[in-house]
Structure 1
Amino acid sequence: MKQTHSMHAAALTQRTAFWLALASLPVLAASAAMAGAQEPQSILETDRIIVKYRDVQPAANGSTVVVEGGSSARKARIDRAGQQFGVLVRESHALSNGAKVFRLDRRHNLAEVRSLANEMMMRDASIEYAEPDRIMTHSATATDPRFTDQWHYYDAVGGLRLPTAWDISTGTGVVVAVIDTGYRPHADLNGQILPGYDFISTAAIGNDGNGRDNDATDPGDGVTAGACGGGQPFSDQPSSWHGTHVAGTVAARTNNGAGVAGVAYNAKILPVRVLGKCGGYTSDIADAIIWASGGTVAGVPANPNKARVLNLSLGGGGACSATMQNAVNGARGRGAVVVAAAGNSAMNVSNASPANCAGVIAVAATGRTGGRARYSNFGTLVSVAAPGGDGASGVLSTLNSGRGAPLADTYAVYQGTSMAAPHVAGVAALMLALNTNLTPDVIAAQLKSTARAFPASCTGCGAGIVNARAAADWAKSSAAPVAVAESESNNTIATADPVTPVNASVTGNLGTATDTDYFRVDLPAGKTLKTSLSAVLATANYGLYLYNSAGKQLGVSLNGAGVADTITFANTSTSTSVLYLRVVYTSGGTGTSNGRYALSLTR
Structure 2
Amino acid sequence: MKPSPWIRLMVVGTLALSPVLTAQSQAALPSRSSTTSARVIVKYRSPVGTTTAPSATHRTTSLGLRLGRSLMGGATIAPQTQVVHAHGVDSQTLARELAADPQVEYAEPDQRRRAHAIPNDSFYANGQTLAGIPAKGQWYLRAPAAPALAAINAEPAWALSTGNANVVVAVLDSGIVGSHPDLLNKLVAGRDFISDPFIANDGNGWDADATDAGDWLTAAEISAHNMTSNDPCWGMDATFVADSSWHGTQVAGLIGAATNNASGMASVGQNVRIMPLRVLGKCGGWDSDIIAAMRWSVGLSVSDPVTSAALPLNPNKAHVINLSLGGPGLCSNTYNQAMAEIRATGAVVVASAGNDGLAVNSPANCPGVIAVGGLDHSGTKGDMSSLGPEITVSAPMGDCPGNTAPCGYPILSTSNPGTTTPLAYAANPTATQSASYFTSDGTLVSNVSRGTSFSAPMVAGTVGLLLSINPALTPDQIKRILQGTSRPFPAVSTAATLGGCAVPPTPSAITVASQANCHCNGDTCGTGMLDVGQAINALPSGLVFAQIDNIPAVLTTNSPIQVRGSAFRASTNGAASSAAVGCYQWSINTYGQNVASFVSASNTATPTINLWSLGRFSLTLSTFSDPQCLVPLAQTHEVLTVSATGSNTGGGTGGGTTPPPSTGPSTSPSTANSNGGLALDGLTLALFGLGLLGHGLRRRRSRHDPVKPMR
**Length-normalised TM-score, structure 1:** 0.54
The residue that corresponds to 1:195 in the other structure is: 189
Which among 265, 272, 287 is matched to residue 277 of structure 2?
272
Does the CA-based 8 Å contact 1:341-1:362 persist in structure 2?
yes
Question: Residue 325 of structure 2: SS of its match in structure 1?
Answer: coil
**Which ranges of structure 2 fall in alignment gaps of 5 or more residues?**
1-130, 224-232, 304-309, 401-406, 426-435, 440-448, 492-518, 544-571, 574-711
Amino acid at match of 1:229: W
Distance in 2 (alpha carbons) for counterparts of 1:396 and 1:175: 22
Amino acid at match of 2:395: A
Does the CA-based 8 Å contact 1:154-1:162 persist in structure 2?
yes
Q: CA shift at 1:279, angstroms?
A: 0.6
The residue that corresponds to 2:321 in the other structure is: 310
The residue that corresponds to 1:379 in the other structure is: 388
The residue that corresponds to 1:411 in the other structure is: 437
1:209 is aligned to 2:203: yes
Amino acid at match of 1:407: L
1:425 is aligned to 2:446: no
The residue that corresponds to 2:472 in the other structure is: 437
Q: CA shift at 1:386, angstroms?
A: 0.6
Does the CA-based 8 Å contact 2:487-2:531 persist in structure 1?
yes
Deviation string 1:72-110 (CA, Å, 9 cap, x unpaired) is xxxxxxxxxxxxxxxxxxxxxxxxxxxxxxxxxxxxxxx
Amino acid at match of 2:142: Y
Distance in 2 (alpha carbons) for counterparts of 1:231 and 1:327: 28
Deviation string 1:1-22 (CA, Å, 9 cap, x unpaired) is xxxxxxxxxxxxxxxxxxxxxx
The residue that corresponds to 2:168 in the other structure is: 175
Which among 465, 469, 479 is matched to residue 529 of structure 2?
465
Considering Cα pairs closer than 8 Å and 6+ residues apart, tell me whether 1 or 2 has the greater RCO: 2
Question: Residue 340 of structure 2: SS of its match in structure 1?
Answer: helix
Question: Residue 270 of structure 1: SS of its match in structure 2?
Answer: strand
Does the CA-based 8 Å contact 2:326-2:363 persist in structure 1?
yes
**Which ranges of structure 1 fall in alignment gaps of 5 or more residues?**
1-143, 480-502, 505-603
The residue that corresponds to 1:256 in the other structure is: 261
Does the CA-based 8 Å contact 1:432-1:475 persist in structure 2?
no
Does the CA-based 8 Å contact 1:434-1:476 persist in structure 2?
no
Distance in 2 (alpha carbons) for counterparts of 1:235 and 1:290: 30
Q: CA shift at 1:370, angstroms?
A: 1.4
Correspondence list, 1:447-526, <5 A: 447-455=482-490, 457-459=519-521, 460-478=524-542
Question: Residue 417 of structure 1: SS of its match in structure 2?
Answer: coil
Question: Residue 400 of structure 1: SS of its match in structure 2?
Answer: coil
Amino acid at match of 2:538: W
| Structure with higher helix content | 1
1:400 is aligned to 2:400: no
The residue that corresponds to 1:6 in the other structure is: none
Q: CA shift at 1:387, angstroms?
A: 1.0
Q: CA shift at 1:478, angstroms?
A: 4.5
The residue that corresponds to 2:352 in the other structure is: 341
Distance in 1 (alpha carbons) for counterparts of 2:235 and 2:173: 24
Q: CA shift at 1:477, angstroms?
A: 4.2
Q: CA shift at 1:145, angstroms?
A: 5.6
Distance in 1 (alpha carbons) for counterparts of 2:542 and 2:311: 37
Deviation string 1:130-175 (CA, Å, 9 cap, x unpaired) is xxxxxxxxxxxxxx96415100100412211001110111121211
1:150 is aligned to 2:161: no
Question: Residue 269 of structure 2: SS of its match in structure 1?
Answer: coil
Identity in percent: 47
Does the CA-based 8 Å contact 2:143-2:155 persist in structure 1?
no
Distance 1:473 1:380, change over 3 A: same
Q: CA shift at 1:229, angstroms?
A: 3.3
Distance in 2 (alpha carbons) for counterparts of 1:411 and 1:317: 30
Amino acid at match of 1:464: G
Distance in 1 (alpha carbons) for counterparts of 2:240 and 2:258: 35
Q: Considering only aligned residues, what root-mean-square deviation do their CA atoms show, in Å?
A: 1.8
Q: CA shift at 1:371, angstroms?
A: 1.3
Question: Residue 340 of structure 1: SS of its match in structure 2?
Answer: strand
Q: CA shift at 1:313, angstroms?
A: 0.1
Amino acid at match of 1:184: V
Does the CA-based 8 Å contact 1:177-1:292 persist in structure 2?
yes
**Length-normalised TM-score, structure 2:** 0.46
Distance 1:180 1:231, change over 3 A: closer
| Structure with higher strand content | 1
Deviation string 1:445-471 (CA, Å, 9 cap, x unpaired) is 110000001126224110011110111
Question: Residue 182 of structure 2: SS of its match in structure 1?
Answer: helix
